[in-house]
C-alpha cells in the first residue's frame, strides 16, 4: 500500500514537470511591469493626483491620461492571465479548472483585441472622456467617478492589448497612432481654446490661478500622458523587426504546444 502511494506521488510529480517546458522561468521584467502598473493606478486614483482631480482640471486630465494609457502600457506586458494559465495544473478528467476557465474567458474577449476594435475604442475614448457630459459625470458624481475610472482602464487595456498582440508593422502602428492623434487633438483644443469646460464647477473653486489657465495646463498634461506615449508606441511597432514566433504577450504556438502536452498526459493517465 505504501509503495503504491509512493508510485502515485512520483507519477504526479513527473506529470507536473512534463506540463511545463524544462527550465521555463517567468521573466522578472513582466512582474516589475505589472507591479509598476498597479502602483501607478493606485497613485493616480488614491494619491495626491486623485485627491485634486475633482478640484483642478489639470489633475483630472493627468488621471484620465494616466489611467487610459500609462497604466495599461505597464499592465498588459505583465501578462497575468498567461502566468495563471501556465502555473495552473491542466485537468485530465474532462472538468474545468482555473486554466480551462482562463482559456474560455480569453476566447470570449479575444475579438476585443483586434486592431480595428482597439483603434476605434482608443479614438472614441479620447473624445468621450473630455468633451461629452461623461466628464461632468466623472467629476461631480461619486458613482460616476468609480465607473469612469473602470471604463478608462478597460478602454486602455483593449487598446494596448490590440497593439501588443499584433505583429509589429504598419497595422499595429496604425492601431496606436490613430488614438495618439485623437488624444493630441484633444490636448491642442484645450491648450488653444478659450472656452472653459465645466465652468460652473472648476470656475467656482477660487484658486489663485485662473481656471482657464489650469485648463490649458491640463491640455498639455494630456499631450504628455496620452498622446506622446501612444505615438512612441506606434513608432516602436513600426520599426521593430517582425518575429513570427511570438508576440509580447502571447506566443503564437503556445496553445498548440499546451494542447499537445494535455493530450500526452491524458493518454499516459489511461
CB 104 within 8 A of CB 96: yes
Q: Of 225, 237, 223, 224, give the one whose Cα is nearest residue 119.
A: 237
**Residue 203, pLDDT score:** 86
Per the structure, the complete domain to which residue 81 belongs is given by 29-88+96-243
| 209 assigned to some structural domain | yes
| 255 assigned to some structural domain | no
SS (H, E, C) 193-220: CCCCCCHHHHCCCCCCCCHHHHHHHHHH
CA-CA distance, 74 to 34, in Å (whole number)? 6
Q: Of 115, 73, 32, give the one whose Cα is nearest residue 225.
A: 73
Question: What DSSP string describes 79-110?
Answer: -HHHHHHHHSPPPSSS---HHHHHHHHHHHHG
| 140 assigned to some structural domain | yes
**Residue 8, pLDDT score:** 56
pLDDT beneath 50, residues of the chain: 1-2, 17-20, 22-23, 244-247, 251-254, 257
Model confidence over 127-136: pLDDT tens digits? 999 999 999 9
| 112 assigned to some structural domain | yes
| 71 assigned to some structural domain | yes
Model confidence over 15-56: pLDDT tens digits? 554 444 544 678 888 989 999 999 999 999 999 898 898 899
CA-CA distance, 25 to 228, in Å (whole number)? 33
DSSP-derived 3-state class of residue 133: coil
| 5 assigned to some structural domain | no
**Residue 7, pLDDT score:** 52
The residues, ordered by sequence, that sit 6+ positions from 181 with a Cβ below 8 Å of its Cβ are: 227
Q: Structural domain tally of the chain?
A: 1
CA-CA distance, 76 to 34, in Å (whole number)? 8
* β partners of residue 251: 246
| 15 assigned to some structural domain | no
| 21 assigned to some structural domain | no
Whether this model's pTM surpasses 0.85: no
Kindly compute the dihedral angle of the four CA atoms of residues 40, 196, 125, 142, in this order, to the nearest 10 degrees. 60
Amino acid at each position: 500500500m505504501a509503495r503504491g502511494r509512493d508510485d502515485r506521488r512520483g507519477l504526479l510529480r513527473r506529470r507536473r514537470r512534463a506540463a511545463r517546458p524544462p527550465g521555463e522561468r517567468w521573466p522578472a521584467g513582466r512582474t516589475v511591469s505589472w507591479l509598476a502598473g498597479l502602483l501607478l493606478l493606485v497613485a493616480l486614483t488614491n494619491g495626491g493626483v486623485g485627491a485634486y482631480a475633482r478640484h483642478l482640471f489639470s489633475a483630472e486630465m493627468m488621471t484620465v491620461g494616466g489611467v487610459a494609457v500609462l497604466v495599461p502600457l505597464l499592465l498588459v506586458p505583465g501578462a497575468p492571465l498567461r502566468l495563471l494559465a501556465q502555473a495552473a495544473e491542466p485537468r485530465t478528467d474532462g472538468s474545468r479548472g482555473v486554466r480551462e476557465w482562463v482559456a474560455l474567458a480569453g476566447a470570449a474577449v479575444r475579438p476585443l483585441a483586434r486592431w480595428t476594435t482597439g483603434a476605434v475604442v482608443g479614438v472614441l475614448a479620447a473624445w468621450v472622456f473630455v468633451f461629452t457630459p461623461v466628464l461632468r459625470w466623472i467629476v461631480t458624481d461619486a458613482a460616476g467617478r468609480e465607473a469612469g475610472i473602470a471604463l478608462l482602464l478597460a478602454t486602455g487595456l483593449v487598446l494596448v492589448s490590440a497593439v501588443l498582440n499584433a505583429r509589429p508593422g504598419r497595422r499595429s502602428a496604425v492601431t496606436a497612432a490613430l488614438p495618439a492623434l485623437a488624444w493630441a487633438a484633444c490636448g491642442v483644443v484645450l491648450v488653444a481654446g478659450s472656452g472653459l469646460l465645466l465652468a460652473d464647477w472648476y470656475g467656482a473653486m477660487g484658486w489663485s490661478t485662473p481656471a482657464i489657465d489650469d485648463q490649458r495646463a491640463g491640455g498639455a498634461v494630456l499631450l504628455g500622458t496620452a498622446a506622446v506615449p501612444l505615438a512612441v508606441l506606434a513608432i516602436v511597432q513600426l520599426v521593430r523587426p517582425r518575429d513570427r514566433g511570438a508576440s509580447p504577450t502571447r506566443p503564437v504556438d503556445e496553445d498548440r504546444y499546451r494542447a499537445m502536452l494535455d493530450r500526452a498526459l491524458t493518454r499516459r493517465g489511461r
